[in-house]
Chains A and B, each alone.
Chain A
Amino acid sequence: MTSAAAEKTTYREAIREALREALRRDDRVFLMGEDVGRYGGCFGVSLGLLEEFGPERIRDTPLSESAFVGAGIGAALGGMRPVVEIMTVNFSLLALDQIMNNAATLLHMSGGQFNVPLVIRMTTGAGRQVAAQHSHSLEGWYAHIPGLRILAPATLEDARGMLWTALEDPDPVLIFEHGSLYNMAGPLPADAGPADIRTAAIRRAGTDITLIAYGGTLGKAVDAADELANAGISAEVVDLRTLRPLDDATILASVRRTHRAVIVDEGWRSGSLAAEVSARIMEQAFYDLDAPVQRVCSAEVPMPYPRHLEDAALPQVADIVTAARQAVG
């Protein structure tokens, strides 16, 4: 009768629970990647799964990104439902050839004969002082590629719910988990289930300006909305959730209501996902705009190591607030 009680959990545990559920529900599902087994995952996501499901289904791989991502594509072609974990988005570049030239293209090249029901998960983003080879937000690059579906869970519900829906998708889905979210804790209903992977979500309603964010920047956007509320500005926060294909309807409907938009994106500004969103707003809601669309992105610099420079390079709450205030005037 009443819905199941909410249990306190973390983003990390929510993903693990999603993996566990998928492994239980469908014996075609298996997890493959570097140190996902004995080590329990570089970020501890798959801790305990090896013990529960055994080494056949929780497969440690050598450090051979191109090989094991490509093998995931092959296994998907062969009837399995692989979940491939890549430690970080920077390392995914070693497998970019397979992702771009195989996963994203096979269906089209084969005239619709071969689809690739593959899920690739990887960590993205900065904020942990791990410098210029472990910190970037390259999901915008992947969102450039037709044939892929790109997800960015920013909440516990999405961390828990997106994987299964992604596995049900007949085509390759990339899930970007922001490294700073793994420890995010909060309540999650015990019966939390699959999450839709087609739409953006309004995480907070508002009337004066739309803050558009995703993944690691959502929390910052919400914090910014708090600050703006104190200043009497009612900000609506849109969580993109699915970076490709973008849910234009939700984004545009919100901007048409508020007439102003700030896009928050941890990627670099030039050629960013924020640029794409901004362009769509210009194209489709130009005559509803009462101020230029603003973007809050990362500084155009490889991520520096020291805390103060990393902070300065990343979108911060104060930057979002400033941009929003400028737009509202």
Chain B
Amino acid sequence: MSPRRAPGPKASPQEAPAQERPPAARHHAELLRQMVLIRRFEEQCVELYSAGEIHGFVHLYIGEEAVAVGVNQALAPDDSIVSTYREHGHALVRGIALDSLMAEMYGKSTGCSGGRGGSMHLFDASTRFYGGNAIVGGGLPLAVGLALADRMRGDTRVTACYFGDGAVAEGEFHECLNLAALWQLPVLFCCENNLYAMGTALARAQVQTDLAVRAASYGMPSWPVDGMDVLAVEQAARHAAEAVRGGGGPHFLELRTYRFRAHSMYDPDRYRDKAEIEQWKQRDPIDLLTAHMRDAGELADGDLTALDTEVSAQLTNAIAAARADPLEPVEGLTRFVYSPEPS
């Protein structure tokens, strides 16, 4: 296996004053910290991509942070996660070390996938993160199989499976929902409905745009959720995950959200109005949470700045480390095509 960095300290509020805050405030601060971390990480990616330091396809999550952060609250450390090519957020909140994620962006051998995967293919066995899958809908069958294995082995894990609205058009989506429901497997289907499959609006690809309704037709509990409201996401996810864990079979969350940036790093954006983007930005998940915290008196004036400073410092360190990290020697090109011989 490739050398890995030890996972960083598990996401936790670290500032001393927080200890004095009530639990709700501390919890909200942590949600905020995670969303800001995702946001700043991706903003850095834009910069690094533009500077030619990272390459390939890089799909940004900006605007959708509340989904990953909220759903993750409902997951236990032992649960499994199957993700998509827009998975930086999922990976970050899962606790995969920031340095190893950044190193992966750089294609360095210290990256979480040994540098082989890049942005679209983040993997981490230690957190049961089964990877960014870059074939739309390609992850769903894996999630069904992971859940099947858990069931057959008597484990009580939940497998959280992220996918976008585009996947709903694929045959695999329908095959997998049916199979999971038929066998009552412990899968939490998390559909990140950001309204566009690359450049094709949901309404131009689907007759039934109410995706929770479609899932319900396969006989599983399903809800639409405001994916811009991290607290709403958390609440729905906790409810669904508990039900799945309790043997209630697969559940489906349609997390209605919006990506503020292009499908990949840059695209012509000919398929949606600037006004629409602006409108959604009015419900920026970070702004919604900070407003809520301000109203509740949970946010002091300097808190946001302090958070930004803290996150920026982490990122600066991660980038510096990634730059300095080694590349896999070319001699290692064909490693990991087959498993090593048992010794």
Contact = CB atoms under 8 A, between A and B. Distances in A.
State whether these chains interact.
yes
Contacts of A90: 135
A134 B107 contact: no
A128 B118 CA distance: 12
A34 B198 contact: yes
A63 B166 contact: yes
Among A94, A302, A306, A309, the most chain B Cβ lie within 10 Å of the Cβ of: A306
Interface stretch (A38-46, A191-199, A228-236): A38-46
Interface string B164-195: 00110111000000000000000000000000
A312 B271 CA distance: 38
Among A134, A305, A309, the most chain B Cβ lie within 10 Å of the Cβ of: A305
Given A90-B135, A131-B56, A64 B333 contact: no
Interface in A1-58: 34-35, 38-40, 42, 44, 47
Interface string B128-140: 0000011111100
Contacts of A91: 135-136
B327 A306 contact: yes
A39 B200 contact: yes
A272 to B, nearest CB: 16
A66 interface: yes
A44 B205 CA distance: 20
Q: How many B residues touch the partner, as a band? A: 35 or more
Contacts of A300: 334, 337
Contact of B270 (A40, A66, A132, A312): A40
B285 interface: no
B145 interface: no
Nearest to B334: A301
B199 A35 contact: yes
A285 interface: no
B223 interface: no
Interface of B: 55-57, 106-108, 115-118, 120-121, 133-138, 166-167, 169-171, 197-200, 204-206, 267-268, 270-271, 327-328, 330, 333-334, 336-337
Nearest to A87: B198
A229 to B, nearest CB: 28
B73 to A, nearest CB: 30
Q: Is the interface of A mostly helix, strand, loop or mixed?
A: loop
Given A39-B200, A134-B134, A309 B171 contact: no
A158 interface: no
Contacts of A47: 268
A35 B200 contact: yes
B120 A131 contact: yes
Contact of A134 (B57, B106, B268): B57
A133 B56 contact: no
B171 to A, nearest CB: 6
Given A131-B116, A307-B107, A308-B330, A62 B206 contact: yes
B121 to A, nearest CB: 6
Given A304-B116, A305-B55, 19 more contacts: A38-B271, A39-B200, A40-B268, A40-B270, A62-B166, A63-B136, A63-B137, A130-B57, A130-B120, A131-B134, A133-B121, A134-B57, A300-B334, A300-B337, A305-B117, A309-B107, A309-B116, A309-B333, A313-B333
Given A63-B166, A309-B330, A94 B135 contact: yes
A63 B330 contact: no
A63 B270 contact: no
